[in-house]
Structure 1
Amino acid sequence: MANKTYNDLLCETSELIGEATQADEALFETGTAERSMLQPLLLELRVRYAVLLARLDAVYDQILQPQKRLIVKRLLEACLGRLMEIKHDLVELHLTDFTFDDDEALKKLQVTPHEAEPCIPQYFIREREAEIHYRREFITNTLRKLGHEPPKPQVLVLTEQQAVLVIQSHERARQGRLRGQFMKEIRLLKEKGRDQKGEMTPAAATAIQKVWRGFIARRATRRRKRDEQLLIGMELPPYMESVEIKRAEEVKEYRRNLQLQRDEEYKEALVSIEQQLRTQHGVRINEQIGDELRRWIKEYYERTGKFPELPSEEAGGSRTMYSRQGTNVDSELSKSSPVSSRDSKRSKDSKDKKSSKTEENKNKEEVDDLQTYKCRNSAFLQDMVNANEEFEDIWKFKPDADDTHERYHKDMIEREKMVKIEQEIRNVVDEMMRSELELLQAAFDRDRAHKGKKAKKPQKKVRRGGKKSKKKKEKDLTPDRTTESLFEELVTNGIIKPYPIVKIDDFIGEKCYVGGEWRNQGKEAAPCLGDIRQLVKEYCILPLGSEHVRAQAPLVRSVLITGPSGSGKKLLIHAICSEVGGTLFDLTPANIVGKYPGKTGLIMLIHLVMKVSRLLQPSVIWMDEAEKPFVKKIPKTDKTDPKRLKKDLIKIIKGICPEDRVLFVGTSRSPWDAEQKLLFQCYQKVIQIPRADYGSISLLWRMKLHRAGAMSPRLEISCLSRVSDSYTIGTLLEALDAVLTTKRRLQLRVRALTAQEIAVQLSSKEPVYAEQDALAEAWWYKTPLERRRQKALQRLQELQMEADERAAAK
């Protein structure tokens, strides 16, 4: 697409951002409101920002103008951060992690449920391609040095005599097949009606014509039916990339390469233009600022009889001195304002009123607390508003006819650099003026014949009295070692592992489409696999991808993913790392057994993992079988010493700061075996993968069979989905791989695949039994957030019953 297309799309997106921010600001103006009123507003805002995120991602990925891309990235990160804030508000509003889309919001905004799911920005990977490639190559080379060669396809080596024998056998077989086919045709011709002279009779010719015309008619009918079904979307097209799609991807890649060229030109222009401006205007600005300061100091001395004090560089320097007031009336008034006394009186009155409240009023307040909610303050909304206003002022109505190639604008760079140069020169002149003022003050004191006192610098007190960091600085146990050496040591010991590149969309599943309706009726629907995919995006992938969003958005340090074997837990771990280009640290008890032995070794292991994970962020620290460190009794057959990290897990997780793009993820098949108190102290969020529903299984079969080219009218997807109900997704894929062997794939054109073949293969697999589902459901009701929700619902019902009883008594 052309530059005009993306510029028009950006202008339309800017208008949508204005509408969304207006609705968002109106939400904050309402303050505390009823939960039933806030729910549709927050759900609509969530959908709005999800759509805006996809639009801004498409624009930022393809737009060329480097200065415009900076504003688009600000909008993109602000939109992403605001989406995360709304997600956490919805969690506190419903006391559940799952966000079901509201049908009214989707209809109002004309958005499908698939479009309402947040997308993953492409710049997470694109802007770090070289770094990610270097890390993967480093891991591969390190493992190759240790003898762990990647598996290579086996190549059969034959001698010349063996090769001749193979060729001869194949040639004889080919000739035999041709001779057999030739003899079959001769036999069929003899069986047909022919006279003794070998001429075909009219009846035989008519029969052949009838069969041929019928075959042609049936083939044309099937073709028209297939074309009609493709047109209305009842049948999927063949799984192959069309020429148009390939061409579009080539154009996108070409524009991305142009982006890199424009960025390089912009960076070079920043340096060259700054040097040029310094040589042209540096001396003049220096003299001008010095003359202004000396003139102002002279006027100040003539008016007050003393020399002024220059503020420090942190306080603004001489720029703030011109607006300084000679008196501190405002500060004195603020200290002794009558408002404070009124507030104190009001607070005393409110305390007296609270002490005299009856039990009925207390219950009413408790009901209000359960029924009302106030959204938390946003750290991204104002930034989004400012960036959008800046775009509208500078870029929205800027004619692009003069810049068809989308290169940088020199006048904008000059304005920005002039401000920077002036500030730097002002800081230098201020420092020179401070020394001159000290000399003048000393000379003035000598003239007055008394000992001069050096002017105090309150700004230093402010700098000394700043906030002290509560976080204790950890002792570095490896101060003399480089990042590469630490990286290599962890790769050598198997703590840092390579992982396959997978996408989060490979976790196939439909979303729950009745969740919003059920929630309006006071019920809670069971989540589907599509909701799990969205939850992993919101808690794990999106915060880790952006440093700005991670530092400002609500912090999620650790996530526990549970589910039966084959449900996709490891796939989700690999998808998190792949989508953000992260480094995977494996702290599974079976993986660290025998490594870094003893107490000192354990301390070194934790130090190395935390230090390297910060240096190579974004990072994912993974622990499989997360329940084992907290199991009450370890089987004697288990030699992995799973309780080795029990006391240090909470320390590791609490050591993750908001500025660290590090996430601790645990996976477990049986979390109910652990001590629940310790388990929930360790993991902040819990994601339980449910049993695959009919919609998700049906979607899985359609996608996988369609990609394999095994779809046919004889294959009953609905029946196959019903048969697959009690199996996990991993088990279904194993059965499909076992059926679709190379030989069976070659036979698909002759003999279509049937559901019976897959069902027979599934019969030998282990399903998920009802007892395991019952254990998982009982454990889910013990999770902290679910217990909060159940207690809130129970307390609300009790208070409502008490209110009804009092009303009936009156």
Structure 2
Amino acid sequence: MKLKESLMSSIVTEKPNVKWEDVAGLESAKEELQQAIIFPLRFPQLFQGSRRARRAILLYGPPGTGKSYLAKAVATEVEHTLFSISSSDLMSKWSGDSEALVRQLFELAREKKPAIIFIDEIDALCSNRDGGPGGGNEDTARMKTEFLVQMDGVGKDNAGVLVLAATNLPWSLDPAVRRRFQRRIHIPLPDLAARKQLFQIHLGDLGRQCSERDLEELARRSEGFSGSDVATAIQDALMVPIKKVHMATHFRKIPHAGAEYYTPCDKTDPGAIAMTWRKVPPNRLKEPPLTAADLFVVMQHVKPSVAPDELDKYVAWTEQFGMEGA
């Protein structure tokens, strides 16, 4: 019962509110997930006899490309019980507890099916058992064996249970674990069109300050960026108005919401008042708008987080074991 109670906290009770259209690009990956998860729930008559729904899908690719975001979109869309699992949920210092936790996880998922078990960074749990780096000791080997048995061992009926996993290191997975995943989908860096969509999504209403041409130029300048890198660049850009307030030596009064507010200005502007942010009333500050020029300045200083030579490893692994998700 204690093991069961510890796993109950991994059940996601609130929907993440991430829609499919919030995921830029990755059309093949979205189609595969919809066919594997949503279709069996909405059209069960299609999956009878020899045609069966997917039982396990692996999402792999560079960090920050949207693997976990896809899982959130799945959780928002379907009415499955979602278990969000990390290595800390299944690893225990007590001998025998780790494999018991794995067994209890799958039993709990079968009780609450239809269910999805999402395992982030699965390479931390199921690395190669050949005794090399990351192979682990006897306790972790038993845990990995139990994981394999629970996924599709003899007498284990996992109908209605989907294992959805994500990893940045697919080549470190044990071959037997890799085989269990019927679909292994590469989530690559976003292309030009996807990066443009990412800027639109992350900027939201602020995106109206940018023209179509500005967005296309931002997408062009962000070659090699992951989705996470684009989000970081925009967060940096959103801090530009704050920096302008902090560095301003002059402010001017502007009407806003039926009152007078202070906004930074140049000392040559009409109505400029020599003052710093320290003298601005806290409830009377209006920050300057974010402009496309601010974004371009920020883009000069943001670097991609994924090295080009790392991408070659994903391409080679995809050619041998996976499929493209973009």
The answer to whether the 8 A contact 2:210-2:292 is kept is yes
Aligned to 2:164, what secondary structure does the other structure show?
strand
Match of 1:748?
289
How far apart are 1:576 and its partner, in Å? Answer: 1.5
Match of 1:670?
169
Q: Distance in 2 between matches of 1:693 and 1:752?
A: 21
Q: Distance in 2 between matches of 1:758 and 1:780?
A: 34
How far apart are 1:548 and its partner, in Å? Answer: 4.7
How far apart are 1:606 and its partner, in Å? Answer: 3.4
Q: Amino acid of the residue matched to residue 503 of structure 1?
A: K
The answer to whether the 8 A contact 2:127-2:134 is kept is no
Matched, 1:562 2:60: yes
Q: Amino acid of the residue matched to residue 82 of structure 2?
A: L
How far apart are 1:714 and its partner, in Å? Answer: 9.5
Q: Distance in 2 between matches of 1:714 and 1:621?
A: 40
- The structure-2 alpha-carbon separation of the partners of 1:644 and 1:757, relative to structure 1 and needing over 3 Å to count, comes to farther
Alignment of 1:274-423 (within 5 A): none
Q: Amino acid of the residue matched to residue 769 of structure 1?
A: A
The answer to whether the 8 A contact 2:186-2:323 is kept is no
Match of 2:317?
779
Aligned to 1:613, what secondary structure does the other structure show?
helix
Q: Distance in 1 between matches of 2:232 and 2:37?
A: 27
The answer to whether the 8 A contact 1:545-1:580 is kept is no
How large is the Cα RMSD of the aligned pairs? 3.3
Q: Distance in 1 between matches of 2:53 and 2:37?
A: 10
Q: Distance in 2 between matches of 1:665 and 1:605?
A: 18
* Residue of 626, 633, 636 corresponding to 2:122: 626
- The structure-2 alpha-carbon separation of the partners of 1:757 and 1:591, relative to structure 1 and needing over 3 Å to count, comes to farther
Q: Distance in 2 between matches of 1:706 and 1:625?
A: 30
Match of 2:24?
508
Matched, 1:700 2:198: yes
Aligned to 1:572, what secondary structure does the other structure show?
helix
User: What stretches of structure 1 of length at least 5 have no aligned partner?
Assistant: 1-477, 479-484, 510-528, 787-810
User: What stretches of structure 2 of length at least 5 have no aligned partner?
Assistant: 243-285
Matched, 1:737 2:253: no
Match of 2:30?
533
Q: Distance in 2 between matches of 1:607 and 1:643?
A: 14
Q: Distance in 1 between matches of 2:320 and 2:86?
A: 25
Q: Amino acid of the residue matched to residue 531 of structure 1?
A: S
Q: Amino acid of the residue matched to residue 768 of structure 1?
A: V
How far apart are 1:667 and its partner, in Å? Answer: 0.9
How far apart are 1:644 and its partner, in Å? Answer: 4.8
- The structure-2 alpha-carbon separation of the partners of 1:561 and 1:758, relative to structure 1 and needing over 3 Å to count, comes to same
The answer to whether the 8 A contact 2:90-2:101 is kept is no
Q: Distance in 1 between matches of 2:178 and 2:189?
A: 23
Match of 2:216?
718
Identity of aligned residues (%): 22
Q: Distance in 1 between matches of 2:160 and 2:235?
A: 37
How far apart are 1:585 and its partner, in Å? Answer: 2.4
- The structure-2 alpha-carbon separation of the partners of 1:739 and 1:642, relative to structure 1 and needing over 3 Å to count, comes to farther
The answer to whether the 8 A contact 1:712-1:753 is kept is no
How far apart are 1:561 and its partner, in Å? Answer: 0.5
Which structure has more strand as a fraction of its residues?
Answer: 2
* Residue of 277, 299, 302 corresponding to 1:762: 302
Q: Amino acid of the residue matched to residue 58 of structure 2?
A: L
Q: For residues 214-256 of structure 1, what are the alpha-carbon distances to aligned partners after superposition, in whole Å with 9 as ceiling and x for unaligned? A: xxxxxxxxxxxxxxxxxxxxxxxxxxxxxxxxxxxxxxxxxxx
Match of 1:689?
187
Q: Distance in 1 between matches of 2:98 and 2:305?
A: 39
Match of 2:72?
574
Which structure has more helix as a fraction of its residues?
Answer: 1
The answer to whether the 8 A contact 1:627-1:679 is kept is no
The answer to whether the 8 A contact 1:624-1:668 is kept is yes
Q: Amino acid of the residue matched to residue 605 of structure 1?
A: L
Q: Distance in 2 between matches of 1:646 and 1:777?
A: 27
The answer to whether the 8 A contact 1:621-1:662 is kept is yes
Q: Amino acid of the residue matched to residue 687 of structure 1?
A: I
- The structure-2 alpha-carbon separation of the partners of 1:784 and 1:556, relative to structure 1 and needing over 3 Å to count, comes to same
Q: Amino acid of the residue matched to residue 288 of structure 2?
A: Q
Q: Distance in 2 between matches of 1:642 and 1:708?
A: 49
The answer to whether the 8 A contact 2:60-2:169 is kept is yes
Q: Amino acid of the residue matched to residue 7 of structure 2?
A: L
The answer to whether the 8 A contact 1:567-1:730 is kept is yes
The answer to whether the 8 A contact 2:198-2:230 is kept is no
Match of 1:332?
none
Aligned to 2:145, what secondary structure does the other structure show?
coil
The answer to whether the 8 A contact 2:192-2:219 is kept is yes
Match of 1:291?
none
- The structure-2 alpha-carbon separation of the partners of 1:507 and 1:752, relative to structure 1 and needing over 3 Å to count, comes to closer
Q: Distance in 2 between matches of 1:718 and 1:495?
A: 41
Alignment of 1:601-680 (within 5 A): 601-628=97-124, 629-631=126-128, 632=130, 633-634=132-133, 643-654=141-152, 657=157, 660-675=159-174, 677-680=175-178
The answer to whether the 8 A contact 2:17-2:73 is kept is yes
The answer to whether the 8 A contact 2:185-2:322 is kept is no
How far apart are 1:738 and its partner, in Å? Answer: 2.6
How far apart are 1:761 and its partner, in Å? Answer: 4.7
Matched, 1:490 2:17: no
The answer to whether the 8 A contact 1:539-1:556 is kept is yes
The answer to whether the 8 A contact 1:504-1:575 is kept is yes
Aligned to 2:320, what secondary structure does the other structure show?
coil
- The structure-2 alpha-carbon separation of the partners of 1:757 and 1:714, relative to structure 1 and needing over 3 Å to count, comes to farther
How far apart are 1:574 and its partner, in Å? Answer: 1.9
Q: Distance in 2 between matches of 1:657 and 1:668?
A: 26
Aligned to 1:646, what secondary structure does the other structure show?
helix
The answer to whether the 8 A contact 1:738-1:761 is kept is no
Q: Distance in 1 between matches of 2:102 and 2:91?
A: 14
Alignment of 1:224-303 (within 5 A): none
- The structure-2 alpha-carbon separation of the partners of 1:705 and 1:591, relative to structure 1 and needing over 3 Å to count, comes to same
Aligned to 1:567, what secondary structure does the other structure show?
coil
How far apart are 1:709 and its partner, in Å? Answer: 4.3
- The structure-2 alpha-carbon separation of the partners of 1:585 and 1:753, relative to structure 1 and needing over 3 Å to count, comes to same
- The structure-2 alpha-carbon separation of the partners of 1:643 and 1:738, relative to structure 1 and needing over 3 Å to count, comes to farther
Asked which structure has the greater CA Rg, the reply is 1
- The structure-2 alpha-carbon separation of the partners of 1:609 and 1:703, relative to structure 1 and needing over 3 Å to count, comes to closer
How far apart are 1:781 and its partner, in Å? Answer: 1.7
